[in-house]
Amino acid sequence: METFQNMLNDKLGIHFDLTFHNLCPNRRPPIFGDFMREPPVYEDLANFRILKNFMENHLLEYNAMPGTVPMRLVLFKDAIEHGTV
């Protein structure tokens, strides 16, 4: 990841006079998705708390469906980021 960020920094500096840190001050890449709205809109999911609540609610709904095997998942930050890819 560090190599990618260094390459990204080089390109951002050359083309936009920016750095990765300017765009992502917490050194974490932004999360994008198109599942938070109807109709779907691909957007930056900047509010992590809202994203986590959304995913937890959908997991609860799924687990409550008849005939499904409940998924007992812990939605920690890395799991949520992975689930949005």
Q: Residue 60: give the domain boundaries.
A: 46-84
**Which pLDDT score is estimated for 19?**
85
Q: How far is CA 4 from the centre of its chain?
A: 18
Distance CA 85, CA 81 (A): 7
Q: pTM for this one?
A: 0.71
Residue 78 lies in a domain: yes
**Which pLDDT score is estimated for 4?**
82
Residue 21 lies in a domain: no
Confidence of residue 34 (pLDDT cuts 50, 70, 90): very high
**Consecutive H or E run containing 12:** helix 2-16
Residue 10 lies in a domain: no
How much is the average pLDDT of 27-51? 90
Could you give the number of structural domains in the chain?
Answer: 1
Residue 39 lies in a domain: no
**Helical H runs in 17-69?**
20-23, 48-64
Residue 62 lies in a domain: yes
Structure tokens at 72: 């007992």
